[in-house]
Amino acid sequence: MQVKNIIVYNDYGHIYGGAGKIAFDSALALAQKGYHVVFFCATGPVESQLEVHGIEVVFLNQADALSDKNKMASACRNIWNRKAYRESLKCLAQYSPQDTVVMVHGYVKTLSASIFSTFRKRQFKTILTLHDYFTACPNGGFFNYQKNACCTCKAMSTRCVLTHCDSRNYAYKLYRCVRQSVLNHCLRRAKKYIHAYAVSKLCEEKLCPYVTQFATKSGVLYNPVIRLLDHPIDISRNNAFLYIGRLSEEKGIHDFCKVMTELQLQGIVLGDGYLLDDLKHQYPNITFAGWVNGNDKMTYLKQAKCLVFPSKVNETFGLSVAEMLSMGVPCIVPLGCGAAELIKNGVNGLNYEMGNLVQLKDTIKQFEEIDISDWATKMKASKLPTFSMQVYLMNLEKIFSNI
C-alpha cells in the first residue's frame, strides 16, 4: 500500500505517559518525512509543536476520566464516546482508505472503543500499538491491586470477573468489565482492518491468546528511543541510584526507598503520584524532584550510576530503561518486565525476581560490590539494539508496504 496520509489517534493532545510520547514524537517524525499527518485527540492542552510541524489537529476538547467533574457522564463516555465517533467519521470521510492509514496509541482515557467502529465503517487499515494490556485485561495491567501482585486469571473469564482486583472497589471492576465487553465487541468486528503490534517480546507473549481474536496481523514494533545526550554519561564519578516513574505502590517505589535507606545509599526519585507527600515524610534521606523535563531532568540523569526499575507489574516495555542504557547507565530490572530482554546480566545491568524485596536488596548489594569503573568499562563495550526513530520509521514503512 502506498501511504500518503496518516491519522494518529491519541487520548491527549500533549505528551502524557510513555504512549503519549511515542504518539507525539512519531507524528512529528512522520510529518518531517513528508507524510500528511492528522493528530486526532480528545483531551487538551494541545501541544503547539504539532501545528508548527504542519500537522493537522482534530481536537474534541473533552476532559479525561479523572479530571471530569461529572463522573456519571464521564463513565458513560468512556464506554462509548459519541462525539469521538461522530468526529472520527467526519475526519475519515475526507480521506481514502487506499492511501491512508490509521495509527492508534491511546484510547482508554477519553476516546473509547467507539473509534474502532469508525475504522470498520470507513474501511481503514489500522495499526494498533499495544502499549498496555487494555485490549485484553479490564484494568490494563494483568495486575491485582488488592494483593499488589501480578494476576493469573484469564482476562474476562468468570474467575476474572468475580475477582476484586481493582485499585478502587469491586463496583468499579464491574464497570471496567462492561467497558471491556464493549471494546472486545468493537475490536472483533473490526478484525479485518486491525494490525496489532506489541512493544516487546513479553508484551507479544502475554497478549498472543487475545490478539488473534481481533487482529489479522500482529508482531513486535519496538518503540523509538530518542537519545537525550550525544555522548554517554560518565558514571565512574557518580553516586546516585535513580528511580524514574509514577509514585504508586505497583511501581515498587516503596521497595526502592526502603533499600536505599537500609543500605545508606544516595537515591534520586523523578516522578509524581499520590504517594509523593508520604514518601517525602517517610524518607527524608532521598531526593524527590517531582516530574522534571529539559535541563532540569538532565541535571539529575547525569548524577546517576544506575537506574533501578522496581516495578511489580508485567510492564509492556519500560522506556526509561532503554533511555538510560542508551546514555551508558546500567539498569537493575525485574524478570517479567518487557525491558528485561535488554539486560545482559552482569554486563549492562542486573536482573532479579519481580516483587522480591530481599532479592532487590541483594542485587543492589551485588551492583555495589563491582567497582563503578568496571561498570563504566562494561557499558562502553556493550551494544544496545538500535531503537532510533530512523529504525522505527523504517520498520513502520515495512508494515505500510504489507498492510
CA–CA–CA angle 16, 21, 24 (5° rounding): 105
Nearest one of 69, 75, 104 to 88, comparing CA atoms: 104
Nearest one of 16, 126, 136 to 64, comparing CA atoms: 16
CA distance 233 to 255: 26
List pLDDT tens digits, range 130-177.
999 999 999 999 999 999 899 999 999 999 999 999 999 999 999 999
SS3 66: coil
Average pLDDT over residues 277-299: 94
Task: Give the β-pairing of 304-308 and 266-270.
Answer: unpaired
CA distance 196 to 287: 40
Kindly list the structural domains of the chain, giving each domain's residue range(s) and its CATH number in brackets, ordered by start: 5-224+388-402 (3.40.50.2000), 235-381 (3.40.50.2000)
CA distance 260 to 296: 23
What pLDDT score was predicted for residue 65?
A: 85
What pLDDT score was predicted for residue 291?
A: 87
What is the rounded average pLDDT for all residues in the chain? Answer: 95
Grade residue 16 by pLDDT with cuts at 50, 70 and 90: confident
CA distance 387 to 282: 38
What would the grid cell of residue 377 be?
568499562
Q: HSE-up of 347 (CA within 13 Å, CB side)?
A: 11
List pLDDT tens digits, range 214-241.
999 999 999 998 877 878 899 999 999 9
> What is the share, in percent, of the chain residues with pLDDT greater than 70?
100
Grade residue 251 by pLDDT with cuts at 50, 70 and 90: very high
Average pLDDT over residues 176-192: 98
What would the grid cell of residue 128 be?
494498533
Higher pLDDT: 291 or 183? It is 183
* Proportion of the chain in helix, strand, coil states, percent, rounded to 5: 40, 20, 40
What pLDDT score was predicted for residue 49?
A: 95
Average pLDDT over residues 244-260: 96
Q: Are 8 and 107 in contact (CB under 8 A)?
A: no
What pLDDT score was predicted for residue 157?
A: 98
List pLDDT tens digits, range 70-120.
989 999 999 999 999 999 999 999 999 999 999 999 999 999 999 999 999
Query: Distances from the Cα of 14 to the Cαs of 10, 40, 123, 145, 318, in angstroms?
Result: 9, 11, 28, 28, 20
Task: Give the β-pairing of 266-270 and 287-290.
Answer: parallel
Average pLDDT over residues 358-368: 98
CA–CA–CA angle 342, 130, 333 (5° rounding): 25
Average pLDDT over residues 199-212: 96
Pick left, alpha or beta for residue 226 (phi over 0 → left; psi -120 to 50 → alpha; otherwise beta).
beta
Average pLDDT over residues 241-263: 96
What pLDDT score was predicted for residue 227?
A: 78
Grade residue 276 by pLDDT with cuts at 50, 70 and 90: very high
Q: Are 11 and 104 in contact (CB under 8 A)?
A: no
Average pLDDT over residues 10-20: 92
CA torsion angle 266 272 274 275 (round to 10)? 0
